Copies of this chain bind each other. A is one copy, B any other.
Amino acid sequence: MKSNRICVIFAGGPERGLPCIPVPAGAYLLCADSGLKLCSRLGLKPDLVLGDFDSLGAEPTALPHITAQPEKDDTDTMLAVRHALSEGFRDIRIYGAFGGRLDHTLANLQTLEFLRQNGASGMLIGAGDWACLLPAGETGRYVRQPDFTLSVFAWSGTCRGVCIRGTKYTLEQGELSRSFPLGVSNEITAEAAEVSCTEGVLLIAGSAAELTCRNAEP
């Protein structure tokens, strides 16, 4: 079991900018099929490439890889998530999770819930956005960065006792529901924002409208 090491999964999202959060040094690097492209573009060498390789086009024979059966129920990313969990990783960050098709974005968001239900914490990272779940009882701390805005959504039906502090629009013991996006694109005004709730699960998203363009490749 390697539960103290971070596992980074590279998904196949067609992100053209640099990830808005750098890949942590020393992390285990797992590529989900064509996620190998993002990994390679960042100059990193994967520990393992996993998939049916329909996205990549061919088996990456020069690299450590496991070929999965096609026509599977899992997406490539979900396959990688299962592998990471079975290897004992409990801090899993998925890069290249956004910027492509809506269905992949939605599937990746649900993968966060799958990780949470399996006792792991997850984070999705794209070129201009990141997202994670924040269950009741935990406090999320989000450091102010240029151009970044913080959004707080109800992931479960209703979130109660929601506190959002250190931001332009604050909330004390408020309620968030999935039918009213109250906490969109908030500015962090303090050194860091602090978010928590006493009931439910929040979905936290950090976005940077400008960052994507600035980092975009020609």
Residue with the highest number of chain B CB atoms closer than 10 Å, among A149, A178, A184: A184
**Stretch touching chain B among A3-11, A42-50, A61-69, A201-209:** A201-209
Residue on B nearest A75 in the bound complex, by CB:
B184
CB pair B205 A102 closer than 8 Å: yes
CB pair B105 A184 closer than 8 Å: no
* In the assembled complex, A153 has its CB within 8 A of some CB on chain B: yes
Question: In the bound complex, what is the Cα–Cα distance between A62 and B117 (angstroms)?
Answer: 54
Q: How many copies does the complex hold?
A: 2
Q: Is the interface of A mostly helix, strand, loop or mixed?
A: mixed
CB pair B179 A106 closer than 8 Å: no
B-contact bits for A89-103, CB 8 A (1 contact / 0 none): 000000000101111
Interface residues of A in 98-124 (CB under 8 A from B): 98, 100-107, 110-111, 113-114, 116-117
Residues of B within 8 A of A209 (CB): 100-101
Q: Which of B102, B129, B131, B149 contacts A98 (CB 8 A)?
A: B102
Question: Given A101-B129, A184-B103, is A110 in contact with B178 using a C-beta cutoff of 8 Å?
Answer: yes
List the interface of chain A (C-beta within 8 A of B). 73, 75, 78, 98, 100-107, 110-111, 113-114, 116-117, 126, 128-129, 131, 149, 151, 153-154, 156-157, 178-182, 184-185, 203, 205, 207, 209
